[in-house]
Amino acid sequence: MVNDFHFLHKTLDQKNEKFEGFHKSTPQIYLVEDDAVLGKIIKKYLEKKLLAEIHYFDNPSECLMALDQKKKKEDEQGERLPFCLITDISFDQGGADGLLLVDLLKEKGHDFVSIVMTGFASIETAITATKKGVFHYLTKPFELEVLFELAQKALKKIGYDLGFFESTVKAEPSKSFMGSAFKIEEPREEDMFYGMIGRSKLMKNVFERIKKVASSDSTVLVTGPSGTGKELVSNALHLLSTRNAGPKISVNCGAIPSELLESELFGHVKGAFTGAISSRKGRFELANQGTIFLDEIGDMPLLLQVKLLRVLQNREIERVGSTETTPIDVRIITATHRDLDKAVLDGNFREDLYYRLNVIPIKIPALHERKEDIPLLISYFLSRFVSADGRNRLEFDSDALELLMTYDWPGNVRELENLIERLVILRGGSLIKASDLPAKFFKHAPHQVSRYESLISLPENGVDLRQTLSDIEDSLIQQALDKTRGNKNQASKLLNMNRTTLIEKMKKKGLIQLN
Protein backbone atom coordinates (compact mmCIF):
# COMPACT_ATOMS: atom_id res chain seq x y z
CA MET A 1 0.00 0.00 0.00
CA VAL A 2 2.89 2.37 0.80
CA ASN A 3 4.34 1.72 -2.67
CA ASP A 4 0.93 2.43 -4.23
CA PHE A 5 0.71 5.81 -2.50
CA HIS A 6 4.29 6.61 -3.54
CA PHE A 7 3.42 5.79 -7.16
CA LEU A 8 0.32 8.00 -7.04
CA HIS A 9 2.25 10.91 -5.55
CA LYS A 10 4.96 10.50 -8.20
CA THR A 11 2.27 10.46 -10.91
CA LEU A 12 0.78 13.68 -9.56
CA ASP A 13 4.21 15.35 -9.48
CA GLN A 14 4.97 14.29 -13.07
CA LYS A 15 1.59 15.63 -14.25
CA ASN A 16 2.35 19.03 -12.80
CA GLU A 17 5.99 19.66 -13.78
CA LYS A 18 5.35 22.47 -16.27
CA PHE A 19 4.24 26.01 -15.50
CA GLU A 20 4.05 29.26 -17.41
CA GLY A 21 5.02 32.91 -16.77
CA PHE A 22 5.25 34.48 -13.30
CA HIS A 23 2.81 36.64 -11.31
CA LYS A 24 4.45 39.33 -9.18
CA SER A 25 1.46 39.75 -6.85
CA THR A 26 1.02 38.20 -3.40
CA PRO A 27 0.41 34.43 -3.60
CA GLN A 28 -3.24 33.53 -3.01
CA ILE A 29 -4.13 30.40 -0.99
CA TYR A 30 -7.65 29.29 -0.10
CA LEU A 31 -7.66 26.90 2.86
CA VAL A 32 -10.69 24.76 3.82
CA GLU A 33 -10.41 22.77 7.07
CA ASP A 34 -13.16 22.20 9.66
CA ASP A 35 -10.67 21.37 12.43
CA ALA A 36 -10.21 24.95 13.68
CA VAL A 37 -7.04 24.07 15.59
CA LEU A 38 -5.28 22.56 12.57
CA GLY A 39 -6.71 25.20 10.23
CA LYS A 40 -5.29 28.10 12.26
CA ILE A 41 -1.93 26.35 12.59
CA ILE A 42 -1.67 25.91 8.82
CA LYS A 43 -2.82 29.49 8.17
CA LYS A 44 -0.26 31.04 10.53
CA TYR A 45 2.54 28.79 9.32
CA LEU A 46 2.02 29.40 5.59
CA GLU A 47 1.52 33.14 6.10
CA LYS A 48 4.89 33.27 7.84
CA LYS A 49 6.76 30.96 5.45
CA LEU A 50 5.30 32.10 2.13
CA LEU A 51 4.21 35.64 2.99
CA ALA A 52 1.06 34.57 1.17
CA GLU A 53 -2.50 35.78 1.59
CA ILE A 54 -4.37 32.90 3.23
CA HIS A 55 -8.18 32.87 3.06
CA TYR A 56 -9.39 30.39 5.68
CA PHE A 57 -12.83 28.69 5.71
CA ASP A 58 -14.21 25.90 7.88
CA ASN A 59 -16.56 24.51 5.21
CA PRO A 60 -16.59 24.16 1.39
CA SER A 61 -19.81 26.16 0.86
CA GLU A 62 -18.42 29.41 2.28
CA CYS A 63 -15.19 28.95 0.31
CA LEU A 64 -17.14 28.41 -2.91
CA MET A 65 -19.19 31.58 -2.33
CA ALA A 66 -16.07 33.65 -1.66
CA LEU A 67 -14.31 32.33 -4.77
CA ASP A 68 -17.37 32.99 -6.94
CA GLN A 69 -17.39 36.61 -5.73
CA LYS A 70 -13.64 36.85 -6.42
CA LYS A 71 -14.13 35.53 -9.97
CA LYS A 72 -17.01 37.93 -10.62
CA LYS A 73 -14.92 40.97 -9.59
CA GLU A 74 -11.93 39.81 -11.61
CA ASP A 75 -14.07 39.20 -14.70
CA GLU A 76 -15.40 42.75 -14.42
CA GLN A 77 -11.84 44.10 -14.12
CA GLY A 78 -10.57 41.88 -16.92
CA GLU A 79 -7.77 40.36 -14.83
CA ARG A 80 -7.68 36.90 -13.29
CA LEU A 81 -5.35 35.85 -10.43
CA PRO A 82 -4.94 32.08 -10.03
CA PHE A 83 -4.93 30.55 -6.56
CA CYS A 84 -3.92 27.44 -4.66
CA LEU A 85 -6.71 25.47 -2.95
CA ILE A 86 -5.74 23.43 0.13
CA THR A 87 -8.75 21.45 1.35
CA ASP A 88 -9.68 18.58 3.60
CA ILE A 89 -11.66 15.83 1.89
CA SER A 90 -14.29 15.02 4.54
CA PHE A 91 -16.15 17.39 6.85
CA ASP A 92 -18.05 16.65 10.09
CA GLN A 93 -21.01 18.79 9.04
CA GLY A 94 -21.58 16.64 5.97
CA GLY A 95 -22.64 18.15 2.65
CA ALA A 96 -20.02 18.93 0.01
CA ASP A 97 -16.61 17.32 0.45
CA GLY A 98 -13.22 18.57 -0.70
CA LEU A 99 -13.18 16.59 -3.96
CA LEU A 100 -16.66 17.85 -4.87
CA LEU A 101 -15.42 21.39 -4.22
CA VAL A 102 -12.59 20.76 -6.70
CA ASP A 103 -15.15 19.59 -9.30
CA LEU A 104 -17.43 22.59 -8.75
CA LEU A 105 -14.56 25.08 -9.08
CA LYS A 106 -13.49 23.44 -12.34
CA GLU A 107 -17.04 23.57 -13.71
CA LYS A 108 -17.24 27.28 -12.86
CA GLY A 109 -14.00 27.99 -14.73
CA HIS A 110 -11.76 28.94 -11.80
CA ASP A 111 -8.01 29.05 -12.41
CA PHE A 112 -6.42 27.09 -9.56
CA VAL A 113 -4.29 24.18 -8.42
CA SER A 114 -5.38 21.96 -5.53
CA ILE A 115 -3.83 20.05 -2.64
CA VAL A 116 -6.19 17.72 -0.75
CA MET A 117 -5.75 16.42 2.81
CA THR A 118 -7.34 13.46 4.55
CA GLY A 119 -7.15 11.66 7.86
CA PHE A 120 -8.66 8.50 6.33
CA ALA A 121 -6.26 7.43 3.61
CA SER A 122 -7.33 4.80 1.09
CA ILE A 123 -6.12 3.78 -2.33
CA GLU A 124 -9.60 4.43 -3.77
CA THR A 125 -9.62 8.03 -2.53
CA ALA A 126 -6.09 8.60 -3.78
CA ILE A 127 -7.02 7.28 -7.23
CA THR A 128 -10.11 9.51 -7.30
CA ALA A 129 -7.98 12.52 -6.36
CA THR A 130 -5.49 11.66 -9.11
CA LYS A 131 -8.26 11.42 -11.73
CA LYS A 132 -9.53 14.84 -10.70
CA GLY A 133 -6.08 16.28 -11.41
CA VAL A 134 -5.23 17.43 -7.88
CA PHE A 135 -1.65 18.58 -7.47
CA HIS A 136 -0.97 16.41 -4.41
CA TYR A 137 -2.75 14.07 -1.97
CA LEU A 138 -1.60 14.53 1.65
CA THR A 139 -2.34 12.08 4.47
CA LYS A 140 -2.79 13.34 8.04
CA PRO A 141 -0.92 13.68 10.32
CA PHE A 142 1.74 15.45 8.26
CA GLU A 143 4.62 17.79 8.93
CA LEU A 144 4.04 21.45 8.18
CA GLU A 145 7.32 21.61 6.30
CA VAL A 146 5.98 19.03 3.83
CA LEU A 147 2.83 21.11 3.21
CA PHE A 148 4.98 24.25 2.81
CA GLU A 149 7.11 22.59 0.12
CA LEU A 150 3.99 21.33 -1.70
CA ALA A 151 2.37 24.77 -1.55
CA GLN A 152 5.57 26.28 -2.95
CA LYS A 153 5.53 23.90 -5.91
CA ALA A 154 1.79 24.41 -6.46
CA LEU A 155 2.13 28.22 -6.51
CA LYS A 156 5.05 27.97 -8.95
CA LYS A 157 2.92 25.79 -11.20
CA ILE A 158 0.27 28.51 -11.55
CA GLY A 159 2.92 31.16 -12.18
CA TYR A 160 3.76 32.88 -8.90
CA ASP A 161 7.31 34.22 -8.63
CA LEU A 162 8.53 32.85 -5.31
CA GLY A 163 12.18 33.75 -5.87
CA PHE A 164 11.91 36.63 -3.40
CA PHE A 165 10.29 34.47 -0.76
CA GLU A 166 12.73 31.58 -1.24
CA SER A 167 15.74 33.89 -0.86
CA THR A 168 14.47 35.75 2.21
CA VAL A 169 12.64 33.07 4.21
CA LYS A 170 14.80 30.19 5.41
CA ALA A 171 13.21 26.81 6.03
CA GLU A 172 12.77 25.93 9.69
CA PRO A 173 13.56 22.50 11.15
CA SER A 174 10.83 19.96 10.46
CA LYS A 175 8.22 19.75 13.22
CA SER A 176 5.14 17.68 13.90
CA PHE A 177 1.94 19.30 12.64
CA MET A 178 0.97 20.63 16.07
CA GLY A 179 4.52 21.70 16.94
CA SER A 180 4.85 24.95 18.85
CA ALA A 181 2.33 26.85 16.73
CA PHE A 182 0.14 27.48 19.78
CA LYS A 183 1.08 29.55 22.77
CA ILE A 184 -0.70 30.26 26.03
CA GLU A 185 -2.73 33.41 25.51
CA GLU A 186 -4.52 35.58 28.02
CA PRO A 187 -8.26 35.82 27.21
CA ARG A 188 -9.50 39.20 26.02
CA GLU A 189 -12.54 40.90 27.48
CA GLU A 190 -14.74 39.71 24.62
CA ASP A 191 -13.63 36.10 25.27
CA MET A 192 -15.12 36.13 28.79
CA PHE A 193 -18.85 35.76 29.41
CA TYR A 194 -20.23 35.37 32.95
CA GLY A 195 -17.48 33.01 34.08
CA MET A 196 -17.26 31.18 30.75
CA ILE A 197 -14.30 31.57 28.41
CA GLY A 198 -14.29 30.98 24.68
CA ARG A 199 -13.14 32.46 21.41
CA SER A 200 -14.25 29.51 19.29
CA LYS A 201 -17.27 29.76 17.02
CA LEU A 202 -19.08 27.07 19.03
CA MET A 203 -18.78 28.98 22.29
CA LYS A 204 -19.65 32.32 20.69
CA ASN A 205 -22.86 30.68 19.44
CA VAL A 206 -23.63 29.54 23.01
CA PHE A 207 -23.06 33.07 24.34
CA GLU A 208 -25.38 34.55 21.70
CA ARG A 209 -28.10 32.01 22.43
CA ILE A 210 -27.95 32.78 26.16
CA LYS A 211 -28.36 36.51 25.43
CA LYS A 212 -31.39 35.84 23.21
CA VAL A 213 -33.32 33.62 25.63
CA ALA A 214 -32.33 35.08 29.02
CA SER A 215 -35.07 37.72 29.12
CA SER A 216 -37.89 35.23 28.56
CA ASP A 217 -39.49 32.98 31.20
CA SER A 218 -39.32 29.91 28.95
CA THR A 219 -37.95 26.65 30.36
CA VAL A 220 -34.38 25.93 29.23
CA LEU A 221 -32.69 22.53 28.93
CA VAL A 222 -28.88 22.73 29.05
CA THR A 223 -27.11 19.64 27.72
CA GLY A 224 -23.48 18.67 27.37
CA PRO A 225 -20.86 16.32 28.84
CA SER A 226 -19.89 16.56 32.50
CA GLY A 227 -17.42 19.31 33.28
CA THR A 228 -18.40 21.67 30.46
CA GLY A 229 -19.90 24.37 32.71
CA LYS A 230 -23.66 23.85 32.57
CA GLU A 231 -24.17 25.59 35.91
CA LEU A 232 -22.31 28.64 34.58
CA VAL A 233 -24.88 28.77 31.77
CA SER A 234 -27.71 28.74 34.33
CA ASN A 235 -26.02 31.57 36.26
CA ALA A 236 -25.72 33.67 33.11
CA LEU A 237 -29.38 33.05 32.21
CA HIS A 238 -30.45 34.20 35.68
CA LEU A 239 -28.19 37.27 35.83
CA LEU A 240 -29.31 38.45 32.39
CA SER A 241 -33.01 37.90 33.13
CA THR A 242 -35.60 40.22 34.65
CA ARG A 243 -35.56 37.90 37.69
CA ASN A 244 -31.98 38.71 38.66
CA ALA A 245 -33.15 40.55 41.80
CA GLY A 246 -34.77 37.32 43.00
CA PRO A 247 -33.09 34.17 44.32
CA LYS A 248 -31.35 31.54 42.19
CA ILE A 249 -31.64 28.10 43.80
CA SER A 250 -29.66 25.11 42.52
CA VAL A 251 -30.50 21.43 43.11
CA ASN A 252 -28.38 18.48 42.00
CA CYS A 253 -30.99 15.80 41.39
CA GLY A 254 -28.32 13.11 41.10
CA ALA A 255 -26.66 13.91 44.44
CA ILE A 256 -29.76 13.68 46.67
CA PRO A 257 -31.20 10.23 47.59
CA SER A 258 -34.46 9.61 45.74
CA GLU A 259 -36.44 9.20 49.00
CA LEU A 260 -35.35 12.70 50.12
CA LEU A 261 -35.49 14.50 46.78
CA GLU A 262 -39.27 15.09 46.85
CA SER A 263 -39.04 16.80 50.24
CA GLU A 264 -36.04 18.86 49.08
CA LEU A 265 -37.91 20.11 46.02
CA PHE A 266 -41.43 20.61 47.38
CA GLY A 267 -40.96 20.82 51.16
CA HIS A 268 -42.95 18.96 53.84
CA VAL A 269 -45.29 19.56 56.74
CA LYS A 270 -44.68 18.61 60.36
CA GLY A 271 -45.19 14.89 60.96
CA ALA A 272 -45.20 14.00 57.24
CA PHE A 273 -42.61 11.28 57.90
CA THR A 274 -40.30 10.09 60.67
CA GLY A 275 -37.95 12.92 61.54
CA ALA A 276 -40.19 15.69 60.17
CA ILE A 277 -40.31 17.57 63.48
CA SER A 278 -41.33 20.84 61.82
CA SER A 279 -42.69 22.14 58.54
CA ARG A 280 -40.11 23.09 55.92
CA LYS A 281 -40.16 24.97 52.64
CA GLY A 282 -38.84 23.22 49.56
CA ARG A 283 -36.45 24.60 46.94
CA PHE A 284 -39.30 25.65 44.63
CA GLU A 285 -40.80 27.88 47.31
CA LEU A 286 -37.38 29.29 48.17
CA ALA A 287 -36.86 30.16 44.49
CA ASN A 288 -40.15 32.08 44.23
CA GLN A 289 -39.83 35.23 42.08
CA GLY A 290 -36.45 33.90 40.90
CA THR A 291 -34.89 30.92 39.13
CA ILE A 292 -34.55 27.25 40.06
CA PHE A 293 -31.79 25.20 38.43
CA LEU A 294 -32.37 21.43 38.39
CA ASP A 295 -29.01 19.88 37.57
CA GLU A 296 -28.74 16.25 36.38
CA ILE A 297 -32.47 16.12 35.69
CA GLY A 298 -31.88 12.84 33.83
CA ASP A 299 -31.24 11.13 37.19
CA MET A 300 -34.65 12.04 38.63
CA PRO A 301 -36.78 8.98 39.56
CA LEU A 302 -39.81 8.28 37.34
CA LEU A 303 -42.35 8.76 40.17
CA LEU A 304 -40.97 12.20 40.93
CA GLN A 305 -40.97 13.09 37.22
CA VAL A 306 -44.79 12.90 37.32
CA LYS A 307 -44.94 15.46 40.15
CA LEU A 308 -42.49 17.75 38.37
CA LEU A 309 -44.64 17.59 35.23
CA ARG A 310 -47.62 18.73 37.31
CA VAL A 311 -45.59 21.66 38.66
CA LEU A 312 -44.66 22.70 35.12
CA GLN A 313 -48.27 22.50 33.98
CA ASN A 314 -50.03 24.14 36.96
CA ARG A 315 -47.25 26.29 38.45
CA GLU A 316 -48.12 25.15 41.95
CA ILE A 317 -46.53 22.72 44.39
CA GLU A 318 -47.84 20.46 47.14
CA ARG A 319 -45.70 19.85 50.20
CA VAL A 320 -45.11 16.24 51.28
CA GLY A 321 -47.83 15.28 53.77
CA SER A 322 -50.10 18.17 52.79
CA THR A 323 -53.24 18.41 50.65
CA GLU A 324 -52.95 22.16 50.13
CA THR A 325 -51.34 23.63 47.02
CA THR A 326 -49.03 26.64 46.96
CA PRO A 327 -48.69 28.76 43.80
CA ILE A 328 -45.13 29.45 42.66
CA ASP A 329 -43.58 31.94 40.24
CA VAL A 330 -40.23 30.56 39.13
CA ARG A 331 -38.24 30.20 35.95
CA ILE A 332 -37.08 26.58 35.55
CA ILE A 333 -33.69 25.73 34.05
CA THR A 334 -32.64 22.08 33.85
CA ALA A 335 -29.40 20.39 32.82
CA THR A 336 -28.13 16.89 32.14
CA HIS A 337 -25.12 15.08 30.68
CA ARG A 338 -27.36 12.16 29.67
CA ASP A 339 -28.93 11.56 26.26
CA LEU A 340 -32.58 12.22 27.14
CA ASP A 341 -33.80 11.10 23.70
CA LYS A 342 -32.34 7.66 24.40
CA ALA A 343 -33.61 7.73 27.99
CA VAL A 344 -37.14 8.33 26.67
CA LEU A 345 -36.84 5.40 24.22
CA ASP A 346 -35.50 3.17 27.03
CA GLY A 347 -38.41 4.12 29.28
CA ASN A 348 -36.19 5.84 31.87
CA PHE A 349 -37.54 9.34 31.27
CA ARG A 350 -41.09 10.50 30.63
CA GLU A 351 -41.67 11.71 27.08
CA ASP A 352 -44.24 14.33 28.10
CA LEU A 353 -41.85 15.78 30.70
CA TYR A 354 -39.02 15.83 28.17
CA TYR A 355 -41.06 17.98 25.77
CA ARG A 356 -42.01 20.31 28.63
CA LEU A 357 -38.38 20.79 29.60
CA ASN A 358 -36.91 21.00 26.10
CA VAL A 359 -38.60 24.28 25.15
CA ILE A 360 -35.28 26.04 24.54
CA PRO A 361 -32.28 23.70 24.27
CA ILE A 362 -28.71 24.95 24.79
CA LYS A 363 -25.93 22.47 23.99
CA ILE A 364 -22.49 23.06 25.51
CA PRO A 365 -19.67 21.63 23.35
CA ALA A 366 -17.08 19.27 24.79
CA LEU A 367 -13.60 20.73 25.21
CA HIS A 368 -12.16 18.52 22.44
CA GLU A 369 -14.61 20.19 20.04
CA ARG A 370 -13.18 23.66 20.76
CA LYS A 371 -9.47 23.09 21.23
CA GLU A 372 -8.62 26.63 20.13
CA ASP A 373 -9.97 27.74 23.54
CA ILE A 374 -7.49 25.59 25.51
CA PRO A 375 -4.64 28.18 25.55
CA LEU A 376 -7.08 30.81 26.87
CA LEU A 377 -8.36 28.48 29.58
CA ILE A 378 -4.82 27.52 30.64
CA SER A 379 -3.94 31.21 31.01
CA TYR A 380 -7.13 31.89 32.99
CA PHE A 381 -6.60 29.00 35.42
CA LEU A 382 -2.95 29.95 35.89
CA SER A 383 -4.02 33.46 36.86
CA ARG A 384 -6.35 31.93 39.46
CA PHE A 385 -3.92 29.51 41.05
CA VAL A 386 -0.55 31.27 40.76
CA SER A 387 0.25 33.42 43.79
CA ALA A 388 0.33 37.22 43.57
CA ASP A 389 4.14 37.32 43.79
CA GLY A 390 4.44 34.81 40.92
CA ARG A 391 6.77 32.46 42.81
CA ASN A 392 4.85 29.36 41.68
CA ARG A 393 4.41 30.57 38.10
CA LEU A 394 4.38 27.87 35.39
CA GLU A 395 5.56 27.76 31.80
CA PHE A 396 5.01 24.97 29.30
CA ASP A 397 7.52 23.77 26.70
CA SER A 398 6.29 23.03 23.16
CA ASP A 399 6.01 19.25 23.70
CA ALA A 400 3.92 19.64 26.86
CA LEU A 401 1.65 22.19 25.18
CA GLU A 402 1.27 19.87 22.18
CA LEU A 403 0.09 17.09 24.48
CA LEU A 404 -2.43 19.41 26.14
CA MET A 405 -3.72 20.50 22.73
CA THR A 406 -4.11 16.97 21.33
CA TYR A 407 -5.54 15.27 24.44
CA ASP A 408 -9.26 14.36 24.26
CA TRP A 409 -10.18 15.86 27.68
CA PRO A 410 -12.97 13.43 28.70
CA GLY A 411 -13.44 15.50 31.89
CA ASN A 412 -13.65 18.69 29.82
CA VAL A 413 -12.96 22.13 31.37
CA ARG A 414 -13.17 20.75 34.92
CA GLU A 415 -10.39 18.25 34.13
CA LEU A 416 -8.20 21.02 32.68
CA GLU A 417 -8.83 23.20 35.73
CA ASN A 418 -7.88 20.37 38.10
CA LEU A 419 -4.71 19.64 36.12
CA ILE A 420 -3.51 23.26 36.22
CA GLU A 421 -4.22 23.49 39.95
CA ARG A 422 -2.27 20.26 40.58
CA LEU A 423 0.69 21.41 38.47
CA VAL A 424 0.85 24.80 40.22
CA ILE A 425 0.87 23.11 43.63
CA LEU A 426 3.31 20.30 42.79
CA ARG A 427 5.50 21.88 40.08
CA GLY A 428 5.09 25.62 40.74
CA GLY A 429 8.00 27.83 39.70
CA SER A 430 9.27 25.56 36.94
CA LEU A 431 9.05 24.78 33.23
CA ILE A 432 6.50 22.01 32.60
CA LYS A 433 7.82 19.37 30.22
CA ALA A 434 5.93 16.53 28.61
CA SER A 435 7.35 14.13 31.22
CA ASP A 436 5.69 16.17 34.00
CA LEU A 437 2.19 15.39 32.69
CA PRO A 438 0.16 12.33 33.79
CA ALA A 439 0.72 9.15 31.75
CA LYS A 440 -2.79 9.27 30.22
CA PHE A 441 -1.74 12.26 28.08
CA PHE A 442 0.68 10.05 26.12
CA LYS A 443 -1.86 7.40 25.16
CA HIS A 444 -3.18 9.16 22.04
CA ALA A 445 -0.34 11.61 21.45
CA PRO A 446 0.27 12.09 17.68
CA HIS A 447 4.04 12.00 18.05
CA GLN A 448 3.81 8.51 19.57
CA VAL A 449 3.30 7.19 16.07
CA SER A 450 6.64 8.61 15.00
CA ARG A 451 8.39 6.59 17.72
CA TYR A 452 7.71 3.42 15.77
CA GLU A 453 8.86 4.83 12.44
CA SER A 454 12.53 4.44 13.36
CA LEU A 455 12.27 1.02 14.99
CA ILE A 456 12.79 -0.84 11.74
CA SER A 457 14.67 0.37 8.68
CA LEU A 458 13.43 -1.04 5.41
CA PRO A 459 16.26 -3.00 3.70
CA GLU A 460 17.05 -2.30 0.06
CA ASN A 461 15.72 -5.72 -0.94
CA GLY A 462 12.52 -5.26 1.12
CA VAL A 463 10.95 -7.49 3.79
CA ASP A 464 8.23 -10.07 4.24
CA LEU A 465 5.76 -7.70 5.95
CA ARG A 466 3.46 -10.43 7.29
CA GLN A 467 6.32 -12.41 8.85
CA THR A 468 7.96 -9.25 10.24
CA LEU A 469 4.73 -8.14 11.93
CA SER A 470 4.24 -11.65 13.31
CA ASP A 471 7.77 -11.62 14.77
CA ILE A 472 7.14 -8.21 16.38
CA GLU A 473 3.87 -9.51 17.87
CA ASP A 474 5.67 -12.60 19.24
CA SER A 475 8.33 -10.40 20.82
CA LEU A 476 5.84 -8.04 22.48
CA ILE A 477 3.75 -10.93 23.85
CA GLN A 478 6.88 -12.57 25.26
CA GLN A 479 8.04 -9.29 26.82
CA ALA A 480 4.63 -8.79 28.44
CA LEU A 481 4.73 -12.31 29.87
CA ASP A 482 8.29 -11.80 31.15
CA LYS A 483 7.33 -8.52 32.84
CA THR A 484 4.32 -10.11 34.55
CA ARG A 485 6.10 -13.40 35.34
CA GLY A 486 3.70 -15.32 33.14
CA ASN A 487 0.51 -13.75 34.51
CA LYS A 488 -1.73 -13.77 31.43
CA ASN A 489 -4.32 -11.43 32.95
CA GLN A 490 -1.73 -8.72 33.67
CA ALA A 491 0.03 -9.34 30.34
CA SER A 492 -3.24 -8.85 28.43
CA LYS A 493 -3.67 -5.46 30.17
CA LEU A 494 -0.15 -4.40 29.16
CA LEU A 495 -0.98 -5.32 25.56
CA ASN A 496 -4.46 -3.71 25.76
CA MET A 497 -6.22 -6.86 24.57
CA ASN A 498 -8.74 -9.33 25.91
CA ARG A 499 -7.24 -12.17 28.00
CA THR A 500 -8.91 -14.88 25.91
CA THR A 501 -7.58 -13.26 22.73
CA LEU A 502 -4.07 -13.31 24.18
CA ILE A 503 -4.35 -17.00 25.10
CA GLU A 504 -5.62 -17.87 21.60
CA LYS A 505 -2.68 -16.02 20.03
CA MET A 506 -0.24 -17.80 22.35
CA LYS A 507 -1.70 -21.17 21.39
CA LYS A 508 -1.58 -20.37 17.70
CA LYS A 509 2.02 -19.19 17.90
CA GLY A 510 3.12 -22.08 20.11
CA LEU A 511 4.10 -19.78 22.96
CA ILE A 512 2.38 -22.05 25.50
CA GLN A 513 2.06 -25.80 25.68
CA LEU A 514 -1.38 -27.20 25.07
CA ASN A 515 -2.66 -29.52 27.82
| Structural domains of the chain, count | 4
pTM score of the predicted model: 0.56
Instruction: Encode pLDDT of 10-20 as tens digits.
Output: 444 444 444 34
Percent of the chain with pLDDT strictly greater than 90? 39
Q: Is residue 126 part of a domain?
A: yes
Q: Is the pLDDT of residue 6 over 50?
A: no
Q: Is the pLDDT of residue 321 over 50?
A: yes
Domain boundary among 330, 363, 396: 363
3-state secondary structure (DSSP) of residue 285: helix
**C-alpha to C-alpha distance for 355 and 333, rounded to whole angstroms:** 14
Q: Is the pLDDT of residue 127 over 80?
A: no
Question: Higher pLDDT residue, 284 or 506?
Answer: 284
**Mean pLDDT score, 487-509:** 84
Same domain, 22 and 146: yes
Q: Where are the beta strands (DSSP E) in 131-281?
A: 136-139, 192-193, 196-197, 220-223, 248-252, 267-268, 280-281
Q: Is residue 443 part of a domain?
A: no
Confidence band, pLDDT 50/70/90 cuts, at residue 172: very low
* Cα 149 to the center of its chain, rounded Å: 29
Same domain, 218 and 358: yes
Instruction: Encode pLDDT of 429-482 as tens digits.
Output: 889 988 888 878 876 554 444 444 444 556 667 777 777 778 778 878 888 887
What are the angstrom distances between the C-alpha of 407 and each of 18, 376, 394, 415? Answer: 43, 16, 19, 11
Averaging pLDDT over each range in 107-116, 119-128, 250-259, 330-339, which range is the top one? 330-339
Same domain, 20 and 162: yes
Q: Looking at residue 489, what is its pLDDT?
A: 85
Q: Looking at residue 92, what is its pLDDT?
A: 67
Q: Is residue 185 part of a domain?
A: no
Q: Looking at residue 163, what is its pLDDT?
A: 57
Instruction: Calculate the average pLDDT of the chain.
Output: 82
Out of 94-103, 316-325, 429-438, 492-501, pick the least confident: 94-103
Of 419, 469, 424, residue with least CA distance to 439: 419
Question: Higher pLDDT residue, 263 or 454?
Answer: 263
**Mean pLDDT score, 332-361:** 95
Residues contacting 386, CB < 8 A, separation 6+: 392, 393, 394, 424, 428
* CATH code, domain with 109: 3.40.50.2300
Instruction: Encode pLDDT of 388-406 as tens digits.
Output: 888 888 999 888 888 898 8
Same domain, 25 and 139: yes
Same domain, 359 and 372: no
Q: Is residue 515 part of a domain?
A: no
Q: Is the pLDDT of residue 267 over 50?
A: yes
Domain boundary among 363, 386, 405: 363
Same domain, 214 and 245: yes
Same domain, 37 and 155: yes
Confidence band, pLDDT 50/70/90 cuts, at residue 122: low
Find the largest Cα–Cα distance for the chain. 94
Domain boundary among 337, 363, 389: 363
Q: Is residue 48 part of a domain?
A: yes
Q: Looking at residue 429, what is its pLDDT?
A: 85
Q: Looking at residue 310, what is its pLDDT?
A: 92
Query: Domain range for residue 493?
Result: 465-509
Q: Is the pLDDT of residue 173 over 50?
A: no
Instruction: Encode pLDDT of 58-107 as tens digits.
Output: 889 899 999 999 888 888 887 778 899 999 888 766 556 888 888 899 88
Q: Is the pLDDT of residue 298 over 90?
A: yes
User: Cβ-count burial of 284 within 10 angstroms (0-12 exposed, 13-18 middle, 19+ buried)?
Assistant: buried
Q: Is the pLDDT of residue 3 over 60?
A: no
Question: Higher pLDDT residue, 474 or 246?
Answer: 246
Q: Looking at residue 4, what is its pLDDT?
A: 45
Q: Is residue 448 part of a domain?
A: no
CA dihedral 429, 430, 431, 436 (to 10 degrees): -120
Look up residue 98 and give its amino acid.
G
Q: Looking at residue 176, what is its pLDDT?
A: 37
Confidence band, pLDDT 50/70/90 cuts, at residue 161: low
* CATH code, domain with 473: 1.10.10.60
Same domain, 152 and 235: no
**Mean pLDDT score, 473-498:** 83
3-state secondary structure (DSSP) of residue 32: strand
